[in-house]
């Protein structure tokens, strides 16, 4: 029986392995197995301090160096704004999160305060790392949407669409017009649902409790339609390479008209409730400001950038799925604060409903999947009639379909900004590499610019206005 590892130094079985090696009993394979079996998390030898966000660096060992202890005790902040130790007689450092209801996820903010003024901010991420990019390499292209739909769980259709467009680009695949139109309809409704949830939760964070109820009320109509169409309220796996999983349900036209009427009526109520309220104005105007230059520097896109006056929307600049055939405006503002982010998102809801209305009126007839049988499974009825169809069905769901070797970057305009997927294929049925450009990551890294030299009381408003989804940050 081997000795337990040293909890301080991380020494595992080196003495016994060395002795066994002298006797010729240890082979490379057995050495690796013994070491692996006895390794315990946190027993690695402390090797300097590194960055406090490095993997394993936040674990507290029994014996730590002075710098690590200073970081863990909150008397030292290491970030791009400086690395000087601060005196607790002048400033104080507090942690917000990672389990804090207003961070809307497991996000930790290291805040250095001078009185009630924030001097430095250090966002710390990694608490929700799911390894989805790595997981994508083990799944077939057909299984891919099931994986990516869970990243930004508030805009699952956009995740699925970006992945499917990337795969279809490598396949050089034509998608039926009806499937393209359904994709536009569903993704724009998804934008409406995401903005409604943001308005509800941000209103709650600012003390507008009624906003929470009203926002969820209107969003429920959209989610009910999603459930009726896809069978699920989120993580749908509905948009897939080659088209969509199923056609729209009976009565979808009436559902879309009802959603538009309900949401527009609610939107008028929100604006009456919030935009003229003196408390709301005091808490949002001039708070969490980002200049256009800062947006460019941090890679901020979407409503955040448009609220700062940047007139950029991927649907206009690099259209996809036929979005260029629809008429809509790109709302912008000029102050770049929390108030303007409300204005931009409310107007984006109206513009998305405008697109939805046009898509519903112009919905073409036809297939919802490509006719390419290498990508599309055979119809269900054919499986009962044809052995070849049964074999085809079995192979495509077990082995998937192969994608020609190549690489592609495909981006879509998600509710939070530019959502891009860089996909590399080696010619097999699984991606060789998938890297995701998530808008929430850029928004979180811009928090120091938004919060530095502002009051601690404005932290919640500024953070909420960025609308980060941590599943989109930690992939």
> Going residue by residue through the chain (475 aa), what tens digit of pLDDT does each one get?
334 444 444 444 444 444 545 555 444 444 433 333 333 444 445 444 455 555 555 555 666 677 766 665 555 555 544 445 555 567 788 888 788 877 777 888 888 888 888 888 888 888 888 889 999 999 999 999 999 999 888 999 999 999 999 999 999 999 999 999 999 999 999 999 999 999 999 998 888 889 999 999 999 999 999 999 999 998 899 999 999 999 999 999 999 999 999 999 999 999 998 888 899 998 998 888 898 988 998 899 999 999 999 999 999 999 999 999 999 999 999 999 999 999 999 999 999 999 999 999 999 999 999 888 888 888 888 888 889 888 988 988 888 899 999 999 999 999 999 999 999 999 999 999 999 999 999 998 888 888 888 889 999 999 999 988 888 888 7
What is the C-alpha separation between 338 and 336, in angstroms, rounded? 7
Bridge partners of 47, per DSSP, are none
> DSSP states of 370-387 as a string?
-S-TTTSPPPHHHHTT-H
Dihedrals phi, psi of 97, to nearest 5 degrees: 90, -175
Dihedrals phi, psi of 122, to nearest 5 degrees: -130, 105
Q: pLDDT at position 66, please?
A: 75
Q: At what angle do helices 177-205 and 209-230 cross, to 10 degrees?
A: 160
What is the C-alpha separation between 444 and 295, in angstroms, rounded? 12
> How far out from the chain centre does Cα 470 lie?
6
> Which residues, in sequence order, are CB contacts of 306 under 8 Å at separation 6+?
312, 313, 330, 331, 332, 333, 344
What is the C-alpha separation between 95 and 314, in angstroms, rounded? 36
What is the C-alpha separation between 133 and 116, in angstroms, rounded? 40
């Amino acid at each position: 029986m081997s000795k337990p590892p040293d909890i301080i130094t991380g020494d595992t079985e080196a003495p016994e392995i060395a002795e066994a090696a002298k006797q010729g009993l240890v082979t490379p394979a057995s050495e690796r197995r013994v070491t692996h079996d006895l390794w315990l998390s946190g027993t690695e030898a402390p090797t300097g301090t590194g960055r406090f966000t490095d993997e394993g660096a936040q674990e507290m060992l029994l014996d730590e160096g002075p710098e690590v202890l200073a970081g863990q005790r909150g008397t030292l902040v290491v970030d791009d704004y400086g690395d000087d130790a601060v005196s607790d007689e002048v400033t104080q450092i507090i942690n917000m999160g990672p389990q804090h209801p207003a961070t809307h996820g497991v996000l930790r903010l290291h805040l250095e305060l001078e009185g009630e003024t924030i001097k430095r901010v250090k966002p710390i991420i990694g608490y929700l790392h799911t390894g989805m990019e790595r997981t994508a390499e083990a799944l077939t292209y057909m299984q891919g949407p099931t994986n990516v739909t869970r990243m930004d769980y508030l805009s699952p259709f956009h995740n699925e669409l970006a992945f499917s467009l990337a795969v279809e680009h490598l396949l050089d695949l034509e998608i039926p017009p009806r499937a393209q139109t359904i994709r536009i309809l569903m993704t724009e409704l998804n934008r409406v649902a995401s903005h409604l949830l943001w308005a509800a939760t941000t209103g709650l964070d600012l003390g507008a409790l009624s906003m929470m109820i009203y926002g969820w009320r209107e969003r429920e109509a959209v989610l009910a339609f999603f459930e009726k169409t896809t069978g699920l309220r989120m993580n749908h796996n509905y948009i897939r390479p080659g088209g969509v999983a199923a056609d729209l349900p009976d009565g979808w036209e009436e559902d879309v008209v009802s959603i538009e009427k309900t949401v527009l009526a609610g939107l008028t109520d929100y604006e009456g409730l919030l935009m003229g309220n003196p408390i709301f104005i005091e808490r949002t105007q001039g708070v969490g400001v980002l200049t256009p230059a800062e947006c460019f520097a941090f890679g901020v896109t979407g409503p955040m950038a448009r609220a700062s006056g940047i007139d950029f929307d991927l649907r206009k600049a690099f259209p996809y799925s036929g979005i260029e055939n629809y008429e809509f405006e790109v709302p912008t503002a000029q102050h770049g604060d929390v108030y303007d982010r409300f204005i931009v998102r409310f107007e984006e809801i109206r513009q998305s409903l405008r697109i939805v209305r046009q898509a519903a009126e112009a919905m073409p007839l036809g297939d919802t999947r490509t006719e390419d049988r290498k990508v599309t499974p055979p119809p269900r009825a054919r499986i009962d009639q044809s052995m070849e169809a049964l074999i085809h069905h079995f192979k495509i769901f077990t082995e998937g379909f192969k994608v020609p070797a190549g690489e592609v970057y495909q981006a879509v305009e998600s509710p939070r900004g530019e959502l891009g997927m860089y996909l590399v294929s080696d010619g097999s049925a699984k991606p060789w590499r998938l890297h995701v450009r998530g808008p929430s990551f850029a928004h979180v890294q811009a928090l120091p610019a938004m919060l530095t030299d502002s009051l601690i009381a404005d932290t919640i408003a500024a953070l909420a206005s960025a609308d980060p989804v941590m599943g989109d940050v930690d992939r």
